[in-house]
Structure 1
Amino acid sequence: MNSRAPLSVGRVTFFGRHRGEVNCSAFSPDGQTLLTASEDGYLYGWETKSGQLLWRLGGHTGPVKFCCFSPDGYLFASSSSDRTIRLWELSRAECLWVLKGHQRSVETLSFSPDSRQLASGGWDKQVMLWEVQSGHKLRHLEGHHDSIQSSDFSPNANCLATGSWDSTVRIWDLRVGTPAVFHQELEGHSGNISCLCYSSSGLLIKVWDYNTGKCLETLKGFLDVAHTCAFTRQGKLLVSGAAI
């Protein structure tokens, strides 16, 4: 890869009222709101530009492990080690549904591109699909041999990718009947897959072509575990982060 000049960083806004480790963060689709999930059991909402705390939401009875916004910007979701998922309305910061069914900590959430479904996974090795409007569980997917740590819907919503401590990525075909079956298992990692994402053109990290299951590229450079990654909307740039 060609070397580039370091990114120039201007004014930094500090969000500092958490009382525990920050496990996850997410920007709203319009970029105006930042959501943070904390080990202290609360979900925080911030005005991105000013850094003002808008709300501090309780309800979970354990550390909040994950948070994300729906693509349409109306809802956000949070998950916890208390084995529940909460669906919230953004405009009122009000909890609409408490989703129950997981037997252990829920570590990852993903909204479908049309915001109608939510996928969840965690330490019980199960993936669950939920209907957002009603809060009803649609189906559960089994096959991973260890905790599920990451997930993402494909751009056309036909597939769901999940990453696990079992060092595999599974691609689930959501077009088939219940129960859904995975049609691909992507191998090549040697540890926990803590984050994965599709590009708009259908590339999946470690860079995979999700149509063929072929690993196109292995990106190296970190000296420690890589914890997160994200594509730009155009799918041309990729950013990743690690402990060092």
Structure 2
Amino acid sequence: MFDDENYSHVNLKEFSGHKDEVNCCAFSPDWEMMVTGSDDCLVRVWNTLTTRMVCKLRGHQGAVKSCALSSDSKLFATASYDSTVRVWQTRTGDCIHVLQGHTKSVETVVFSPDCTKLCSGSWDCSAIMWDVQQGCVLRILSGHSSLVQSCDFDYKDKHVATGSWDYTVRVWPVSPIADEKVKILRGHTSNVHAVVFSRVGFLASGSWDKTVRLWNPDTSTLLFVLEGHTGWVKALAFSMDSLYLASAADDETVLIWDVTSGTCIKELQGMVDQVHTCKYSTEGTLLASGATAVTLMVRTKPSQEEQNTAEPETSTDCSLKTRVSRTSSPCHT
């Protein structure tokens, strides 16, 4: 099991600004920048060390449902109920592309590892791969019979997975190859809300059926059904060494799983009910975030600069709170 001391260091930050429900957040690889999207149709960029808002971005005509930062932190993307994806420059805050192709709300967006492509999923039952530089459609991924809630590229940039409310996960080749078919992974008994690849190629899917499924996508083999949550599974993250999987659900818990055995080795309680983000840092620190109508909680990486953190603003209606929890390598008993 995890040593409880690894989770004992907890700090709290508050980011104030959004006037309505916070739907999503994304972090830069160095954890110093955070992007949030809200039902107020705004995108906000924050300095996580000072809790100060860097910029407030307008443009979307509907709720911002998903956001993602490129691995080089030069760009970020936002997906909206207005059926568009916007690509923004991090340095200037300029919108460089408005990607139009979906016909209904866009629920998810993710960058490819090499930052050259985006994948978005929509209520129109499709996923679209985009060329980031040109701002054009590369491929339309059609086949799901219900909305596409989540998507993720593998680390070799050869496949992209999509999770749908048709209860299935599909694994698509990034570059169409004549003899490579789309793989359809079946087994969930309710909407698939989250999909994520590990660095070694495993694929995890989380569902409203309260389970996590671990797959070998190359062979379409189900490795484990991970049971333990009592609420919808909303977010997933593999550790950098691919040995551990974190799953966050609206039962206010985050469960840590041993990928090699399929067993739950740690339960973190006290999380908020609607989880948007779950992520590991390169140091093994676990991040998880969620939101109600007015609050978003985050477990994130502590830093030396936190000693000099500025006090948050308190004059707004919707707050973003950050809880910092330091972890180290898990130890077994």
TM-score range, shorter chain: over 0.9
- 1:36-59 per-residue CA deviation (whole Å, 9 max, x = no partner) reads 111111111111122111111110
After TM superposition, give the deviation of residue 155 of structure 1 in Å.
1.1
Rounded Cα–Cα distance in structure 2 between residues aligned with 1:181 and 1:21:
41
User: For 1:26, what is the secondary structure of its paired residue?
Assistant: strand
Q: Does 1:239 align with 2:246?
A: yes
Aligned to 2:139: 139
Greater alpha carbon shift after TM alignment, 223-232 vs 100-109 = 223-232
Rounded Cα–Cα distance in structure 2 between residues aligned with 1:199 and 1:211:
13
Q: Which letter maps to 1:35?
A: V
Aligned to 1:17: 17
Q: Does 1:211 align with 2:215?
A: no
Aligned to 2:285: none
Rounded Cα–Cα distance in structure 2 between residues aligned with 1:150 and 1:110:
9
Rounded Cα–Cα distance in structure 2 between residues aligned with 1:43 and 1:9:
30
Rounded Cα–Cα distance in structure 2 between residues aligned with 1:27 and 1:237:
20
User: For 2:150, what is the secondary structure of its paired residue?
Assistant: strand
> How many percent identity over aligned positions?
38
Structure 1, gaps ≥5 residues long:
none
Rounded Cα–Cα distance in structure 2 between residues aligned with 1:46 and 1:105:
25
Please say if residues 170 and 182 of structure 1, whose CA atoms lie closer than 8 Å, have aligned partners that are also in contact: no
**Closer, same or farther in 2 for the Cα pair 1:44/1:10, shift >3 Å?**
same
**What does residue range 147-186 of structure 1 map to in structure 2 within 5 Å?**
147-176=147-176, 182-186=181-185
Rounded Cα–Cα distance in structure 1 between residues aligned with 2:109 and 2:181:
18
After TM superposition, give the deviation of residue 160 of structure 1 in Å.
0.7
Aligned to 1:53: 53
Aligned to 1:86: 86
User: For 2:224, what is the secondary structure of its paired residue?
Assistant: coil
Bigger RCO of structures 1 and 2 (CA < 8 A, at least 6 apart): 2
Aligned to 2:234: 227
Higher-Rg member (1/2): 2
Runs of 4+ in 1 over 6 A off after TM superposition: none
Greater alpha carbon shift after TM alignment, 71-80 vs 12-21 = 12-21
- 1:3-46 per-residue CA deviation (whole Å, 9 max, x = no partner) reads 65372242111123211111111101221101111111111111
Please say if residues 141 and 181 of structure 1, whose CA atoms lie closer than 8 Å, have aligned partners that are also in contact: no
Aligned to 1:29: 29
Greater alpha carbon shift after TM alignment, 199-208 vs 59-68 = 199-208
- 1:167-224 per-residue CA deviation (whole Å, 9 max, x = no partner) reads 000001223259x974210011111111111010111112111111111112222111
Aligned to 2:130: 130
After TM superposition, give the deviation of residue 228 of structure 1 in Å.
0.6
Aligned to 1:98: 98
Aligned to 1:192: 191
Greater alpha carbon shift after TM alignment, 189-198 vs 7-16 = 7-16
Rounded Cα–Cα distance in structure 2 between residues aligned with 1:185 and 1:135:
29
User: For 1:15, what is the secondary structure of its paired residue?
Assistant: strand
Q: Which letter maps to 1:92?
A: T
Equivalent residue pairs, number: 242
Please say if residues 208 and 214 of structure 1, whose CA atoms lie closer than 8 Å, have aligned partners that are also in contact: yes
User: For 2:198, what is the secondary structure of its paired residue?
Assistant: coil
Rounded Cα–Cα distance in structure 1 between residues aligned with 2:101 and 2:222:
34
Rounded Cα–Cα distance in structure 2 between residues aligned with 1:44 and 1:9:
28
More strand by share: 2
After TM superposition, give the deviation of residue 236 of structure 1 in Å.
2.1
Rounded Cα–Cα distance in structure 2 between residues aligned with 1:4 and 1:167:
36
Q: Which letter maps to 1:233?
A: M
Rounded Cα–Cα distance in structure 1 between residues aligned with 2:11 and 2:128:
40
Rounded Cα–Cα distance in structure 1 between residues aligned with 2:181 and 2:30:
33
Rounded Cα–Cα distance in structure 2 between residues aligned with 1:152 and 1:96:
23
Rounded Cα–Cα distance in structure 2 between residues aligned with 1:80 and 1:182:
30
